[in-house]
Chains A and B, each alone.
Chain A
Amino acid sequence: MARALRIWLVLAGLACLAVFIALWAGSIRIPPADVIGLLFRGTDSPASEVIHRLRVPRAMAAFATGGLLALAGALMQVLLRNPLADPYILGLSGGSAVGALAAMILGLGSMLIDIGAFAGALLSMLLVFALARRDLAWLQAAGEVDASPRLLLTGVVLAAGWSAIVTLLLTIAPEAQLRGILFWLMGDLGGADGFGLPLAALVIAVAILYPMGRELNVMLFGPDVAQSLGVPVPRLRRIVYLVASVSTALAVTTAGTVGFVGLVVPHALRLVIGNDQRILLPACALAGGALLVIADTLARSVIAPQQLPVGAVTSVLGVPTFMYLLLRSGRR
């Protein structure tokens, strides 16, 4: 327990540092000393405006999105007992991309695009759930043959289907909208307004999951072992799947399809702090948030005043990190 607190404190410190850098860095330079002062006591100055109207909402949206994605990734990995599982692999982001693109092409407003993205993710979730319902809900079917590969395959096939629809929509989309759509597909926090909902969802998700931490640990040993050790496997699976799906849907609605966070953050944390879900899940929320805040700060600073989509930055950070961690763990 003391170890858990130490780990969370360190990560919370890193997250604060990341947010501070995000508030400080940018095309309008604000002295570091002023950043904190302006943050807590706003003035009429342009610097204060930039911090409160632009940088704080964007950093908070990035934090919430990153935390939700890392959490969803960690949950999917427990659910499927596969370290390579990720909300994207299960087709959730594909579904929300289709929902959002359809709304964009129909010329609907940003509010309806968000709703389209959310509906797409939920639809995708329901499809996987319906197709693999026996595996999620029913121990009897799952116990004899491990159902995880089937669930994973269901998700992968759905993701392929969504991607085909995205291609179709891109082909028929008016040329003027292509750039916005592409940014959205690669993940972009530039348009993120409102961070209250995703941030609240992140806190609630961690609060729901924390008491189930040890049960999730036992789930790693398979449904039979878990159930015979007293874990209500079907119920736990449904809760985990629901929390992961809603988290992903909110993350995608906030920032588009940002990749790799759900894969890299839990993986890296496991190598450093181990695989106890009671410690890992809150740590994922903090570290995923911090990572995306930094990635977004890079995305808007590297070739400023031009902006990169944050999804491109997470991929550039994610792929080498993943490789490095994989090689390091092999050598140990």
Chain B
Amino acid sequence: MTHPPPSSLLAVDAVTLAVAGRTLIRAVSLQVRPGDFWCILGANGVGKTLFLRTLAGLRSIDGGSVTLAGKVLGDWTLQDAARIRGLLPQTTYHAFPMPVIEAVIMGRHPHLSRWAWEQGDDRARAEAALRDVGLAGMAQRDITTLSGGERQRVAIAALLAQEVPLLLLDEPVAHLDLHHQILVLGQLEQLARSGRGVMLSIHDLNLARRFATHALLFGDDASVAVGPAPDVMTEPALSRAYGHPVSRVDIGSRTLFVAD
């Protein structure tokens, strides 16, 4: 990485997103700084995936601007952008059998030149990433024989092996069991603490409240609440956004949200 550490990894300025003429997201502004752990909350179909894909540069913006590490998103070359931000899509589908480790080494792609082959160093990073998601012994397993949750963790490991300052994840823990949800979010929290930026969408309010430093809550009327997680995740705001009454319960230092 030759870029100096920027004050904000990602600056979203008045971004508006529309699908088929319908405005899903209106004028969102936020900054992801090193150390931030953002959780994107909202009901199904409000545009969480759309928003993440847009920030990753996979989709054009219908208004406003996105700046990645100090430069307008569209001005980055694909390879340079891929060294700065990584995206975990909601689902990854594997049509061909291959060893798990190969699927993780894929994350090293942006760091290699056209003619380079993956070296021992890339393999070591991929193996470390597999350990981080609790799949240390699975390197040689055929990926098509894994369960859905294990495959999801392989995809997360590939993102970790990409070693980017900004990680965008679309529902990374949706298919994981309780232990691995905490393991994966804990890994991401550690990465944030070491100076990276994390932004992920999630449906579990309690996990979000536990790990997030900041939250983004999409309402179904294209409205958005942005800010530090405790300020955004309030009973009335969550109840309105999900269209279902949500109550807050405090147990010791922990804050829980329960659907009534």
Q: How far is the CB of A276 from chain B (nearest CB, A)?
A: 8
One of A225, A231, A278 near B87 (C-beta < 8 A): A225
> Quick one: closest A residue to B96, CB to CB?
A275
A270: Cβ under 8 A from any B Cβ:
yes
The answer to whether A143 touches B58 (Cβ under 8 A) is: yes
A329: Cβ under 8 A from any B Cβ:
yes
The answer to whether A225 touches B59 (Cβ under 8 A) is: no
The answer to whether A232 touches B95 (Cβ under 8 A) is: no
Which B residues are in CB contact (< 8 Å) with A217? Answer: 106
> With A218-B109, A220-B95 in contact, do A211 and B89 touch (Cβ < 8 Å)?
no
Which B residues are in CB contact (< 8 Å) with A227? Answer: 57-58, 78
Which A residues are in CB contact (< 8 Å) with B110? Answer: 229-230
Which A residues are in CB contact (< 8 Å) with B190? Answer: none
Which residue, A81, A222, A230, has most C-beta atoms of chain B within 10 A? Answer: A230
Q: Mark B80-117, 1 if CB is under 8 A from A, else 0.
A: 11110111010011111110001100110110101101
Which A residues are in CB contact (< 8 Å) with B152? Answer: none
B79: Cβ under 8 A from any A Cβ:
yes
The answer to whether B93 touches A140 (Cβ under 8 A) is: no
B162: Cβ under 8 A from any A Cβ:
yes
> Quick one: closest A residue to B95, CB to CB?
A81
A-B contact count (CB 8 A): 88
> Quick one: closest A residue to B118, CB to CB?
A214
Which B residues are in CB contact (< 8 Å) with A1? Answer: 117
One of A222, A229, A232 near B107 (C-beta < 8 A): A229
The answer to whether A81 touches B109 (Cβ under 8 A) is: no
> Quick one: closest B residue to A229, CB to CB?
B109
Q: How far is the CB of A264 from chain B (nearest CB, A)?
A: 16
* Residues 1-27 of A contacting B (Cβ, < 8 Å): 1
B32: Cβ under 8 A from any A Cβ:
no
Q: How far is the CB of A191 from chain B (nearest CB, A)?
A: 37
One of B80, B82, B94, B112 near A228 (C-beta < 8 A): B82
Which A residues are in CB contact (< 8 Å) with B59? Answer: 140, 143
A47: Cβ under 8 A from any B Cβ:
no
The answer to whether B95 touches A230 (Cβ under 8 A) is: no
Which B residues are in CB contact (< 8 Å) with A144? Answer: 49, 53
CA distance A140 to B155 in the complex (A): 22
Q: How far is the CB of A324 from chain B (nearest CB, A)?
A: 17
The answer to whether A228 touches B115 (Cβ under 8 A) is: no
One of A221, A224, A230 near B82 (C-beta < 8 A): A230
CA distance A140 to B115 in the complex (A): 29
> With A1-B117, A81-B95 in contact, do A224 and B89 touch (Cβ < 8 Å)?
yes
Q: Mark B48-63, 1 if CB is under 8 A from A, else 0.
A: 0100010011111000
The answer to whether B79 touches A230 (Cβ under 8 A) is: yes
One of B57, B60, B109 near A214 (C-beta < 8 A): B109
The answer to whether A218 touches B93 (Cβ under 8 A) is: no
Which B residues are in CB contact (< 8 Å) with A274? Answer: 98, 102
Which B residues are in CB contact (< 8 Å) with A329? Answer: 97
Q: How far is the CB of A248 from chain B (nearest CB, A)?
A: 21
CA distance A262 to B53 in the complex (A): 35
* Residues 160-184 of B contacting A (Cβ, < 8 Å): 162
CA distance A224 to B155 in the complex (A): 12
Which A residues are in CB contact (< 8 Å) with B107? Answer: 229
Which B residues are in CB contact (< 8 Å) with A225? Answer: 87, 89, 92, 106, 155, 158
> Quick one: closest A residue to B56, CB to CB?
A228
A43: Cβ under 8 A from any B Cβ:
no
Which A residues are in CB contact (< 8 Å) with B81? Answer: 230
> With A143-B59, A222-B89, A230-B79 in contact, do A275 and B115 touch (Cβ < 8 Å)?
no
> Quick one: closest A residue to B99, CB to CB?
A274
Q: How far is the CB of B109 from chain A (nearest CB, A)?
A: 5
The answer to whether B82 touches A229 (Cβ under 8 A) is: yes
One of B56, B80, B92, B117 near A221 (C-beta < 8 A): B92
CA distance A227 to B79 in the complex (A): 9
Which residue, B53, B77, B95, B97, has most C-beta atoms of chain A within 10 A? Answer: B95
The answer to whether B87 touches A224 (Cβ under 8 A) is: yes
The answer to whether B109 touches A228 (Cβ under 8 A) is: no
**Which 9 pairs across A and B sit closest by C-beta, in order of nearness?**
A230-B82, A230-B79, A228-B87, A230-B110, A230-B78, A81-B95, A224-B89, A229-B109, A229-B82
Other A-B pairs, 16, CB within 8 Å; known A143-B59, A211-B115, A229-B109: A140-B60, A215-B109, A218-B106, A220-B96, A222-B89, A224-B53, A224-B56, A224-B87, A225-B92, A227-B78, A229-B86, A230-B78, A230-B109, A270-B96, A276-B102, A329-B97
Q: Name A's B-contacting residues (CB within 8 A).
A: 1, 81-83, 139-140, 143-144, 146, 211, 214-215, 217-218, 220-222, 224-225, 227-232, 270, 274-276, 278, 329
A-B contact pairs, 20 of them (CB 8 A): A140-B59, A214-B109, A218-B106, A218-B109, A221-B92, A221-B94, A222-B89, A224-B87, A224-B89, A229-B82, A229-B86, A229-B162, A230-B79, A230-B80, A231-B109, A232-B78, A270-B97, A274-B102, A275-B102, A276-B102
